[in-house]
Amino acid sequence: MKILVTGFDPFGGEKINPALESVKLLPETIDGAEVKWVEIPTVFHKSAKVLEEAMIDFQPDVVLCIGQAGGRTGLTPERVAINEDDARIPDNEGNQPIDVPIRKDGPSAYFTSLPIKAMVEAIHKAGLPASVSNSAGTFVCNHLMYQVLYLVDKKFPSVKAGFMHIPFMMEQVVDKPNMAAMSLQDISRGIAAAITAIIAYQDKEDIKMIGGETH
């Protein structure tokens, strides 16, 4: 099995992005699967182009995209991506689409094909906080999740794909009092744990456990 893991470059005034730094720490093999990471620009549409090129080159069985969600307290596999860009801030090339569909020929939303609840359970077993997220936002993270699932739908039908958000790393919150954070090593360890679940459930249905929210 071949697993492609993506991480964004820094954005929003941050000098570092734990998404990129954590995937760099992943081992080259996990439970017999080959793992490759690729850096993705935090730019609408260009991010999808870089990802598609990496998928063509590597021919993965699974794509797991990783993004920073400052303020979250744990690792959060995403359930759904919506066909909408609504950028609160500009991306790294100054683009700021507002209420624009990502793909005019795409559905309103795509659901992940990854075992998100098994991923949460595996991260918990690694001693780290995690939960299912039901919103990937409307910035480049949601954009890339929608795009990878669109690519799977249209061009890579045998690939499973999804997205997981991670918290700030400790170095980012030195000047952000009371902001949640996690060590870079623990973030990477949590991603690796999630990958073990992806591998274990490659040909199985996701586990049934409570992961919904009231709001």
pLDDT digits (tens, 9 = 90+) for 76-133: 999 999 999 999 999 999 999 999 999 999 999 999 999 999 999 999 999 999 999 9
Domain range for 101? 2-200
- What confidence score (pLDDT) does residue 214 get? 75
Evaluate whether 24 touches 37 at the Cβ level (below 8 Å): yes
Angle (nearest 5°) at CA 6 between 40 and 183: 105
Q: Which of 45, 65, 143, 165 is catalytic?
A: 165
CA distance 129 to 121: 10
In a domain, 142, yes or no: yes
**Type of residue at 5:** V
Identified catalytic residue from 45, 121, 141, 143? 141
Q: Locate all alpha helices (DSSP H) within the chain, ordered by sequence.
A: 18-24, 46-58, 116-125, 140-154, 184-200
Residue type, 161: A
Mean pLDDT value across residues 137-141: 98
pLDDT digits 0-9 by tens, 37-69: 999 999 999 999 999 999 999 999 999 999 999
Total structural domains in the chain? 1
- Separation between Cα atoms, residue 117 and residue 131, nearest integer Å: 8
- Per-residue pLDDT at 115: 98
28 annotated active-site = no
- CATH number, domain with residue 37: 3.40.630.20
165 is catalytic: yes
Which one is catalytic: 45, 65, 78, 143?
78
- pLDDT tier at 211 (50, 70, 90 boundaries)? confident
Say which range, 37-41, 44-48, 195-199, 208-212, has the weakest mean pLDDT.
208-212
Query: Is-above-0.95 flag for pTM?
Result: yes
8 A C-beta contact, residue 87 and residue 139: yes
Tell me the sheet residues that pair with 33.
30
Residue 209 lies inside a defined structural domain of this protein: no
Examine residue 214 and state whether it is found in any structural domain, yes or no.
no
Residue 94 falls inside a structural domain: yes
